[in-house]
C-alpha cells in the first residue's frame, strides 16, 4: 500500500478544488467506500482494489495524521471526485466511466497513463459493440484485429495499433505468414498479442480448409487450388501433398509426403504410392506449393510428375493431376495437357 501516494493524491485534490463539503450527517461511516477504493486503485495507491477497500479507514487515518485535516474532511475530499451517491448522475469525475478530461490528477494517475483500451472509445465506435449490433461484416480489417488485441500500446488505441500492423504487413495474408518473433518486433506487440494473432490466423486457415471433406469430390483443378491455397499459401517452404481418391474421384484421405525443396530424392514414387495402396486409392492428385508465389513448373517439377505418372500406370492407380499452388493463381499439369 503506497501511503505516500495517498497523501500526494489528497493534497492534489485539495489544491485542485475537489473538496466539496457535506454536513456530518451526509457523511456516514463507510460513505462511498467502493467508489473511493476504485479511485485510489486507479491512481495507484495499491494494486489490489479489495485491499484498498478493507484498509480505507487506515488510509484516511494516515492522511489525517500527515495533514491535520479531520477524518470527515479527508473522506469527503476523496469522495467528492469519485462518489456516484449524493451527486447528480454522471457528475462524478472518476465514476464508473471516468471523465479524465475534467480531472486535475492525470499526471499522477496510473489509469489515465495506462495503455489505451477499446473501452476508451465512444460506445458507438467500439468494434466489439458494433460487431454485436451490426455484424462482423460491418467492421474494417483493423477493427477486427483490434478486438483480438483488446488494448493498444503507449499513446495509441487497439484500433490504431491494428492499423499500424496492417500498414507494416499489408494484409491478412502477409500478417498470417509472420512468425511470433517477427510480430514481436512491432512496438506494442508482446508475446500474448503475437500468440493471439497467430491463433486467429491459424483458425482462419483451418476454417478455409474445411471445404473438402472425406467423400467430397474435387471436380477440377480450381477446386484443388481453392482448398490447398488455405493450407499452403502462406508456407515459407515447399510441401508436397498426396490426395487419395476412390473410383468415383471422392476424397479418401490426404497426406503430406515431404517438406523442403522439391526433388526426386525427397519425393520418391515408392513412398507416394505406398500410401495410396494402403488407402486402396483408385486415383491420386499431387499438390505442392511454390513459396515464391510463382506457380510456373520447374524442370524438377516436370521430371517428378512424369516419374509419378509412370509409376501410377504400373501399379494401376490413375494420376489425375499435379497442381502447383502460387500466391494468387496455380498451375495444373492436367489442364496444360502434360498428364
Q: Which residue in 181, 205, 206, 180 sits closest to 195, CA to CA?
A: 180
Q: What is the mean pLDDT of residues 200-225?
A: 75
34 and 99 fall within a common domain: yes
245 and 276 fall within a common domain: yes
More confident residue, 2 or 64: 64
218 and 166 fall within a common domain: no
Contact 319/286 with Cβ under 8 angstroms?
yes
In a domain, 337, yes or no: no
More confident residue, 212 or 274: 274
> How is residue 302 written as a grid cell?
516436370
pLDDT tens digits, residue range 95-105?
A: 877 888 788 88
How many domains does the chain fold into?
3
Contact 221/235 with Cβ under 8 angstroms?
no
Name the percent of the chain lying above pLDDT 70: 85
92 and 137 fall within a common domain: no
pLDDT tens digits, residue range 144-201?
A: 998 888 887 766 788 888 888 988 988 887 888 888 999 999 988 999 999 999 999 8
Q: Identify the sign of the CA torsion 246, 250, 254, 257.
A: positive
Would the pTM count as exceeding 0.75? no
pLDDT tens digits, residue range 250-272?
A: 899 999 888 876 544 468 888 88
Of 207, 230, 249, which residue constitutes the final position of a domain?
207
- State the chain's mean pLDDT as an integer: 83
**According to the model, what pLDDT value does residue 22 have?**
45
Q: How far is CA 218 from each of CA 191, 195, 245, rounded to the nearest angstrom?
A: 40, 34, 9
94 and 173 fall within a common domain: no
Rounded (5°) CA angle 276-280-282: 80
195 and 258 fall within a common domain: no
Q: What is the mean pLDDT of residues 4-31?
A: 68
Give the domain CATH number at 192: 1.10.150.20
Least confident of 8-22, 29-43, 169-183, 189-203: 8-22
Contact 43/110 with Cβ under 8 angstroms?
yes
Q: What is the mean pLDDT of residues 65-84?
A: 84
**According to the model, what pLDDT value does residue 264 have?**
42
Rounded (5°) CA angle 261-265-270: 125
> How is residue 184 written as a grid cell?
514481436
In angstroms, the CA 76 to CA 32 distance is: 9
In a domain, 338, yes or no: no
In angstroms, the CA 157 to CA 166 distance is: 14
pLDDT tens digits, residue range 104-137?
A: 888 888 887 776 666 666 666 678 888 888 888 8
Range of the domain at 145: 118-207
Of 83, 108, 133, which residue constitutes the final position of a domain?
108
Residue 212, pLDDT above cutoff 60: no
Least confident of 72-76, 205-209, 217-221, 238-242: 205-209
In a domain, 253, yes or no: yes
Q: Which residue in 272, 177, 195 sits closest to 233, CA to CA?
A: 177
Beta strands in the chain (DSSP E): 239-245, 251-259, 283-289, 318-325, 330-332
More confident residue, 26 or 62: 62
**According to the model, what pLDDT value does residue 117 have?**
61
More confident residue, 132 or 234: 132
> How is residue 197 written as a grid cell?
494473432
In a domain, 320, yes or no: yes
18 and 86 fall within a common domain: yes
Amino acid at each position: 500500500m503506497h501511503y505516500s501516494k495517498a497523501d500526494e493524491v489528497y493534497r492534489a485534490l485539495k489544491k485542485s478544488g475537489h473538496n466539496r463539503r457535506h454536513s456530518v450527517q451526509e457523511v456516514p461511516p463507510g460513505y462511498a467506500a467502493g467508489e473511493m477504493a476504485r479511485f485510489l486503485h486507479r491512481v495507484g495507491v495499491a494494486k489490489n482494489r479489495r485491499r484498498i477497500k478493507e484498509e480505507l479507514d487506515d488510509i484516511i487515518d494516515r492522511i489525517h495524521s500527515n495533514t491535520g485535516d479531520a477524518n470527515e474532511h479527508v473522506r469527503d475530499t476523496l469522495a467528492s471526485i469519485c462518489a456516484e451517491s449524493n451527486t447528480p448522475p454522471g457528475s462524478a469525475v472518476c465514476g464508473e466511466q471516468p471523465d479524465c478530461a475534467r480531472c486535475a490528477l492525470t499526471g499522477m494517475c496510473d489509469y489515465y497513463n495506462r495503455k489505451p483500451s477499446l473501452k476508451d472509445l465512444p460506445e458507438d465506435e467500439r468494434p466489439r459493440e458494433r460487431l454485436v449490433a451490426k455484424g462482423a461484416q460491418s467492421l474494417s480489417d483493423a477493427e477486427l484485429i483490434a478486438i483480438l488485441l483488446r488494448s493498444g500500446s503507449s499513446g495509441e488505441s487497439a484500433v490504431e495499433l491494428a492499423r499500424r500492423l496492417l500498414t507494416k504487413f499489408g494484409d491478412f495474408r502477409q500478417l498470417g505468414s509472420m512468425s511470433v518473433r517477427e510480430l514481436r518486433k512491432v512496438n506494442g506487440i508482446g508475446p500474448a498479442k503475437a500468440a493471439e494473432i497467430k491463433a486467429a490466423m491459424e483458425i482462419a486457415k483451418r476454417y478455409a480448409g474445411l471445404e473438402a471433406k472425406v467423400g467430397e469430390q474435387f471436380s477440377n483443378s480450381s477446386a484443388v487450388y481453392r482448398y490447398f491455397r488455405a493450407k499452403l499459401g502462406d508456407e515459407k517452404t515447399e510441401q508436397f501433398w498426396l490426395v487419395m481418391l476412390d473410383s468415383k474421384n471422392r476424397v479418401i484421405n490426404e497426406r503430406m509426403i515431404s517438406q523442403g525443396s522439391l526433388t526426386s530424392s525427397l519425393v520418391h514414387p515408392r513412398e507416394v504410392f505406398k500410401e495410396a495402396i494402403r488407402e486402396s486409392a483408385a486415383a491420386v492428385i499431387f499438390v505442392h506449393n511454390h513459396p515464391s508465389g510463382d506457380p510456373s513448373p520447374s524442370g524438377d517439377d516436370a521430371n517428378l510428375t512424369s516419374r509419378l505418372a509412370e509409376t501410377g500406370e504400373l501399379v494401376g492407380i490413375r494420376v489425375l493431376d499435379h497442381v502447383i499452388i502460387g500466391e494468387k493463381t496455380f498451375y495444373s499439369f492436367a489442364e496444360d495437357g502434360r498428364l
